[in-house]
Structure 1
Amino acid sequence: MSTPPRTSHHRSFELTLQSAKRTMVLSEIVRLAIDSFRTSKVRFALTALGMVIGSMSLILVVTIGLTGKVYILNLLRSIGTNMVDLEYAGGGSGAINNFQNDYLTHDDERAVEEQVPAVAYSSPMLEMHDRVSFGQGVVKEVLVLGVSPQYKMVRNLVVLSGRFFDEEDESTHTKAAVVTEAFARAMFGSMDSAVNKTFTLSGIPFTIVGVFKESVNTFGQSEIADQTILIPYSVARYFTGTDNVKDIFFSIRDEKDVEEAAKQIVAVVHARHQPSSVYKASTMTELLTDAALIADALTVVLILVTAVTLAVGGVGIMNIMLATVRSRIREIGIRKALGATAREIKLQFLIEAVFISLSGGLLGTLLGLALPVSVRLFTSYPLPISPWSVVIALVTSSLVGVVFGTLPANRAAQLDPVESLKYE
């Protein structure tokens, strides 16, 4: 007698039944895993400790990396990331034996201010060197820069004592000077003592109206040296006898517009000079980008080092799970004798490994976040917290559990039920 063909209703019922059975089996497997941990809490805690330390280290490493990155970028911004430094790089026209230099002029600065709306502040710069007597026979060579009052904003200078010379000083050609802290201490003993005192440059008396410093110590890598004197540009012109300037500094309103504004500045100035003249505009944008990339690279390296801790924790999980399989051979044999498949046995031990790893990763993540969150709550310093570090820590913990739990799970699934039942 032939078996009647199964209808679509029969097939649908069987699929539903199989799906329900799989769901029940999975929930039973999870329950068995939890029961296993309840019976050996100390072993579970010690096994998860490696993942706790690894995940916590990962969170803290990313936080430290981001903090360092923010600190470095803020230092560079203090120098003047909105600044464009325009200088004459060579070229010009004339006969072979009568070559002409095509230097920048104060009129170039005015033209740029009129034609480039992105410019907020600007200042020309004349550079001179002179020898100044510091008393008791001590004579030092100093750097004298002729700048406009806006130079303070362009270069983010900090006035430590007194004031910076203003537009009135510039227009009235006042013999005012703003000196560095090192100059004030060397000549008068302190910053406050230097204010309103006089000294001579090329036989002309100047009155110190203020003492300044750079926002960030550039260690002599900028145009400002230790012994630097700033005087009004209108006064510095009398020393040089020319309207030519060495550099023109511009401050751009928005940091995003710096590169485009630099191109416009060069175009405006180049249109006012000989076609063969070359003018170079330097910005901090490239330096900022490089600094950010270096900081990110260092953070990645530190994360990879932290991954070693996670791998060590994974090895610990694998060793414990292998020992667990060995101690539960009779249990595995009984389960197989009652109908459990190799897949179900494998899934049970794999879930146990992932559970240990993920629990340790979750606790480590919470402990790792506790430090920056506490600093944010109890201090005024906002430590940066990356949501991606949390995601990476939890995903990595899960993957460690899967990778290092596969071998013990496979070994448990491949055990022979007959031999397992006879195991003592």
Structure 2
Amino acid sequence: MLACRTLFRIDRVFGFTSRCFLSKPESFSILSFRGSENSAMDGFKKQKMVNLVWRPISTQSSLILTEAGNEVQEVAQCSKSSDVSKEVIEGETASVVSAGNHSVSLEVGASLIKFIRGKEGTTQMKLEEEMGVKIILPSSRDEDHISIEGGSVDCVTKASERIATIIDEVVRSPSLDYSHFVSLPLAIHPELVDKLVNFQNSILGIHSIASDKQDDQANRATTNVAVDLKANSETNQVNVGIKSIPIVSYPPKAKSKSSTLLDLGIEKSIFIKPSTFHLTVVMLKLWNKDRVNAARDVLKSISPSVMDALDNKPVFIRLKGLDCMRGPLDKTRVLYAPVEEIGDEGRLLRACQVITDAFVKAGLVLEKDAKQSLKLHVTVMNARHRKRRKNNKKKMETFDAREIHKQFGNEDWGEYLIREAHLSQRFVFDQNGFYRCCASLPFPGEQKA
């Protein structure tokens, strides 16, 4: 199943008579097209103007013809919702373009604007030169729309199709990072958070730093110098005679723990924040508001199916030990705590599969992600999160986890209830420190004795 759909599609309009034929739309974006009487739409009277607006997708399309004064509008109604904006319906609010000029407005998503612009604007300038159009990008980072202006329907359409191709390629590539994911929060359990904080502190040696300072102070306090003081009554002066200065030999300073950790590729930035601990169900790229809203609707709509998969009973998990995702321990990329469902009934995996299948069916999951099998785990350390140092041109992609595994390989992290599933937004956090919750799906609660 093609998991990534084209954002928009404009069908070429070869001519207009008293009726306008539009093909079935296939995207979630909004397109508005404006033309004048000198364009290919010369079948209308010269005083009239045509506004064609492609609305969000549904399975059927319909035409609405309204007349306001000397102006005619045709709207391709592609949305199941009835909230059509005033600027579409009311003729007096529609903008007028000069004769012979055509304009298309495209909702592409704020995170994709930079790919249309290109490095130093090279992609935008190349498109404008080849297609004979003017591409107007938003000035604000929060805006989702771009405009394409050209002298003909054909050049505007071709430019729109080229931008659609660019966006498809970007979405399928690693250039566009995942924006959301479905999570099963674990940071809601304070006892687990405390254990993970202690785990990080013990590895980073935070407590040993204070003890090292105390040892240094104690060493300075035991360093004594013997002197002989003699007072001269005639000159009222005190003569100081140094009888002996003990020779103190200090052992060579041991290599600090922090230096050793850096040699192993271990630093604070690669530890997962305890306040964000979770199980990941499926990763998502939701680059515009339509896709975010669609994901919300999917999560809310599958509640009965998820409850059936869980047999309407609470589900508990046990976290025990540590393991690396792939490869040897001395070249670890991801260190995680394995997850075991208590009772081993497979209910949690079934529920997660219901969630994943629903998002795949809605076209919100990339094809490569839809083919992957789910491995429930809690990431503890991830080398990908490492912050690049100024003096290091190359970022270390792995770390040595052998000593960590030796000490915590059989650690019992405890048993925990899975209370809900979230549609979580990456890189944005709520007040509790967890990822921004865009929508939630409650799981069966803990049974009372």
Specify if TM > 0.5.
no
Mark the structure with the bigger radius of gyration: 1
Which structure carries more strand by proportion? 2
The higher-RCO structure (CA 8 Å, 6+ apart) is 1
TM-score (norm 2): 0.22
